[in-house]
Amino acid sequence: MIAAWIYAALCLVTALFQVALYLGAPWGGWTQGGRHPGALPPRNRTLALATALFLLALGASVLAARDGGTRIPGWIATALTAAVFLSHVVSPSRSERALWAPVTAVMLGAALWAMLG
User: Do 31 and 54 touch, CB atoms closer than 8 A?
Assistant: no
Q: What is the 3-state secondary structure (H, E, C) of 31-95?
A: CHHHCCCCCCCHHHHHHHHHHHHHHHHHHHHHHHHHCCCCCHHHHHHHHHHHHHHHHHHCCCCHH
Q: Give the pTM.
A: 0.93
Residues 6+ apart with CB under 8 A from 44: 21, 28, 32, 36
Report the mean per-residue pLDDT for the chain.
95
Distance of CA 33 to the CA centre of its chain: 14
70 — pLDDT class (breaks 50, 70, 90): confident
Q: What is the pLDDT of residue 117?
A: 85
Residues 6+ apart with CB under 8 A from 82: 108
What interhelical angle do 42-66 and 72-89 show, nearest 10? 140
